């Protein structure tokens, strides 16, 4: 059996993923990629994490459906555009894994820009902006650890949401929030110090879940 194809980067680096599973890792998916896979009779497992947002056209639901409808193909989505497509195509057999998939499925988040980011087009696809879903996750953790109050958490989240996704970064979010909410400056500065050394990524966590999910299925079929 051929190794599973996984469209990945920047949610999780190929290097980190390969330490868990030596799959066929490919760049973020663009228009046409899933049509090529759908025409390949040797494809049996595909993981969809990342897709392009601005650099090119992303795979449409119809394109991904062409692969999802094929008998014998395990198609799994998570973490980013893959989670969105999994929600749209679950009834056609696509499987979604992870927290972000569940948030979209239950309607707790519904906008594409919650997972949209910009990233370097080559290499390990280094992030150039922060995903709104990850900002929310870090604000949740900071509130849980009592770094910030509920009021400051809401203020930071609202300001971040107003920033166009290619320009979202913690430095801008912090400065903009301080300029609007002077009374919260102390807590906002505390969050700035906290995030500098405690940044977490829910997208990365979910991407790793997808890698582990496919590894489990691949191992069970090849043993």
- Mean pLDDT, residues 197-213: 98
Q: Strand order in 24-26's β-sheet?
A: 24-26, 5-7, 45-48, 74-77, 95-96
- Mean pLDDT, residues 121-132: 83
pTM, to two decimals:
0.95
Q: Are the CB atoms for 107 and 97 separated by under 8 Å?
A: no
Q: What is the phi-psi region of residue 152: left when phi exceeds 0, alpha when psi lies from -120 to 50, beta otherwise?
A: alpha
Confidence at residue 122, expressed as pLDDT on a 0 to 100 scale? 72
Confidence at residue 222, expressed as pLDDT on a 0 to 100 scale? 83
pLDDT category of residue 55 using cuts at 50, 70 and 90:
low
- Mean pLDDT, residues 65-85: 96
3-state secondary structure of 47: strand
- Mean pLDDT, residues 53-58: 79
Confidence at residue 125, expressed as pLDDT on a 0 to 100 scale? 78
- Alpha-carbon distance values, 19 to 36, 47, 123, 153, 208 (Å): 27, 17, 17, 35, 11
CB atoms within 10 A of CB 13: 18
Q: How many residues in the chain?
A: 223
3-state secondary structure 73-106: CEEEECCCHHHHHHHHHHHHCCEECCHHHHHHHC
Q: What is the phi-psi region of residue 118: left when phi exceeds 0, alpha when psi lies from -120 to 50, beta otherwise?
A: beta
Whether pLDDT at 123 is above 70: no
Confidence at residue 79, expressed as pLDDT on a 0 to 100 scale? 98
Mean pLDDT for the chain overall: 95
Residues with Cβ within 8 Å of residue 97, at least 6 apart in sequence? 76, 77, 78, 86, 206, 209, 210, 213
Q: Are the CB atoms for 58 and 51 separated by under 8 Å?
A: yes
Each residue of 172-192: pLDDT tens digit?
A: 999 999 999 999 999 999 999
């Amino acid at each position: 059996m051929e190794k599973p194809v996984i469209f990945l980067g920047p949610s999780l680096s190929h290097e980190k993923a390969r330490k868990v599973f030596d799959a066929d890792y490919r760049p973020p998916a663009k228009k046409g990629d899933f049509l090529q896979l759908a025409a390949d009779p040797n494809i049996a497992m595909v993981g969809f994490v990342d897709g392009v947002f601005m650099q090119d056209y992303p795979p449409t639901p119809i394109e991904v459906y062409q692969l999802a409808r094929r008998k014998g193909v395990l198609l799994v989505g998570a973490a980013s555009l893959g989670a969105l497509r999994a929600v749209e195509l679950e009834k056609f057999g696509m499987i979604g894994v992870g927290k972000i998939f569940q948030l979209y499925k239950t309607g707790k988040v519904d906008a594409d820009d919650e997972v949209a980011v910009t990233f370097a087009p080559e290499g390990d696809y280094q992030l150039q902006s922060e995903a709104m879903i990850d900002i929310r996750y870090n604000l949740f953790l900071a509130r849980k650890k009592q770094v910030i109050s509920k009021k400051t958490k809401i203020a930071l989240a609202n300001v971040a949401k107003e920033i166009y996704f290619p320009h979202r970064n913690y430095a801008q979010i912090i400065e903009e929030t301080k300029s609007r909410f002077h009374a919260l400056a102390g807590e906002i500065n505390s969050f700035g110090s906290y995030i500098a050394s405690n940044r977490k990524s829910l997208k990365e966590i979910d991407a790793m879940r997808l890698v582990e999910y496919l590894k489990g299925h691949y191992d069970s079929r090849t043993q």
